[in-house]
Amino acid sequence: MEISLVRSLMDKEFYDEHRGAKCPDRLFSQDVRKIKQAVDIAMDRYSRTVTPDEIEALFMANNPTLTTAQKQAYSHLFHKVKKETPMGSDVAQEVLSKLFQQVVGEDIANLGFDYVNGSKSSLEPLRILMEQYGDDFTPNLQVEWEDISLDTILSMTDLESQWTFNIPTLTRKVEGINAGHLIEVGARPNTGKTSFHASLVASPQGFAWQGAKCIILCNEEGYHRVAHRYITAATGMDKFEISKNKHRAMEVFDQIRKNVMFKDATGRDMNWVESVCKSYKPDIVILDMGDKFAKMGGFARPDEALKANAVHARQIAKQHECAIFYMSQLSAEAEGKVVLNQAMMEGSRTGKAAEADLMIMISKNPTVEGQEEEDNQRHINVVKNKLSGWHGIVHTDLEYKIARYVA
């Protein structure tokens, strides 16, 4: 790393930005430090970008007393410098900043140790040190600002959704989603969360029928049960009809089978999810359940871990250009209520919600005493919407036996 940094310092513009106290000699090991000092001499003398060959010639000329063994050792070191590709300016600046912070940190630690052990009676040297370095703890950056020409902005803005919802009443309000979006979906147990994503992906005009490559990562129900929901959603046949006519069911499901992949993700974390996305490049990812991918260790509170998990999910969506559905449970506060809000998300009242581009909560009608059959009406609460801005409730019916949400 230090050799790459020395190579970068041979660039006049980079050197001028980091000369003197911003790049002290003690950042470097003894032998590399001498090469860096040769760079300092060359910059003062020639005031231009220099090559490794020029620095080697200057170094050898200024050190005529080197033994043969020392000359061979430095020639070998210069050979490494010449083979090294200079870091990009932004990377070199970051590396330099980190090394610099380590050096200053050592100075601060030593002063603190001296004070604690009585060899210094005042913290004044520490104050002087902090004033001396000031803002040099942070790197100087050369930012390549984004192109904001009208054509570029219009081409990149979500004027038209890449993947549209197949629930007409929802589509009229939200339309659909694009790569980079994080969609959080919450509901109480036995409300129809799995049927919801099965319906969006596999039922007629769903994401898979639109050509989206979808992966479903299951750590709640067995993948085989989830896959069965997808088959019923795609075919419109319940499990008894499928058993009687397997050929017909698979004939229909085979039309989208290449766009739907399932994996048991029990015990996996979000790093694994990122590896899957990097390797298979999906358009849409279903995390069922999202919270179970969280690493709970290292956090003072569970909600902090869940927020970090959602942050990671959003980063994956952006970096790997896919839309991620993050399925969640709602707290007991949502039980029996039709109108829901963000604070009802289980385990994280605000943290997870802050990361969502679209937040959907599904409710059902309260059970009435003496009611024999469960009401199949479902209420899709759009409680956060950075996509179209609309908030409200879309009323649908859940055809549970075939895992379809219909308007």
Q: What's the CATH code, domain 160-406?
A: 3.40.50.300
Supply the pLDDT for residue 369: 73
How does residue 83 score in pLDDT terms, banded at 50, 70 and 90? confident
pLDDT at residue 123 greater than cutoff 70: no
Supply the pLDDT for residue 402: 96
Residue 151 or residue 205, greater confidence: 205
- CB within 8 A of 126, min separation 6: which ones? 108, 111, 112, 115
- C-alpha to C-alpha distance for 305 and 244, rounded to whole angstroms: 47
The candidate with the shortest Cα–Cα distance to 345, out of 296, 384, 374, is 384
DSSP class per residue in 308-358: HHHHHHHHHHHHTT-EEEEEEEBPGGGTT-SS--GGGBTT-SSTTGGG-SE
Beta bridge partner(s), residue 381: 361, 393
Supply the pLDDT for residue 155: 67
Cis, bond preceding 296 (omega within 30 deg of 0): no
Q: Which of 53-57, 212-216, 365-369 has the lowest mean pLDDT?
A: 365-369
Q: Mind spelling out the 3-state secondary structure of 184-250?
A: EEEECCCCCHHHHHHHHHHCCCCCCCCCCCEEEEECCCCHHHHHHHHHHHHHCCCHHHHHHCHHHHH
Supply the pLDDT for residue 21: 62
Name, of 33-42, 114-123, 156-165, 281-290, the range with top average pLDDT.
Answer: 281-290
Supply the pLDDT for residue 309: 94
Residue where the block lists tokens 């399925």:
327
- Give the model confidence (pLDDT) of 153-187 as tens digits: 776 665 567 899 999 999 999 978 999 999 999 99
The candidate with the shortest Cα–Cα distance to 11, out of 55, 59, 77, 58, is 55
- C-alpha to C-alpha distance for 385 and 359, rounded to whole angstroms: 6
Supply the pLDDT for residue 3: 85
Supply the pLDDT for residue 116: 75
* H-run or E-run covering 93: helix 89-116
User: At 211, which amino acid appears?
Assistant: G
Q: Give the 3-state secondary structure of residue 293.
A: helix
Supply the pLDDT for residue 139: 45
- Mean pLDDT for 324-338 is 95
- C-alpha to C-alpha distance for 136 and 130, rounded to whole angstroms: 10
- Mean pLDDT for 14-28 is 75
pLDDT at residue 306 greater than cutoff 70: yes
State both tokens at 216: 């479903």
Instruction: Report phi then psi at 73, rounded to 5.
Output: -65, -45
Supply the pLDDT for residue 234: 97
Q: Is 305:294 a contact under the CB 8 Å cutoff? A: yes
Q: Give the 3-state secondary structure of residue 216.
A: strand
- Mean pLDDT for 295-303 is 85
The candidate with the shortest Cα–Cα distance to 225, out of 179, 178, 262, is 262
- Mean pLDDT for 250-278 is 94
The candidate with the shortest Cα–Cα distance to 165, out of 214, 204, 115, is 204
Supply the pLDDT for residue 142: 58
pLDDT at residue 293 greater than cutoff 90: yes
pLDDT at residue 92 greater than cutoff 50: yes
- C-alpha to C-alpha distance for 7 and 126, rounded to whole angstroms: 33
State both tokens at 74: 């430095």
- Mean pLDDT for 18-33 is 77
Q: Is 323:340 a contact under the CB 8 Å cutoff? A: no
How does residue 371 score in pLDDT terms, banded at 50, 70 and 90? low
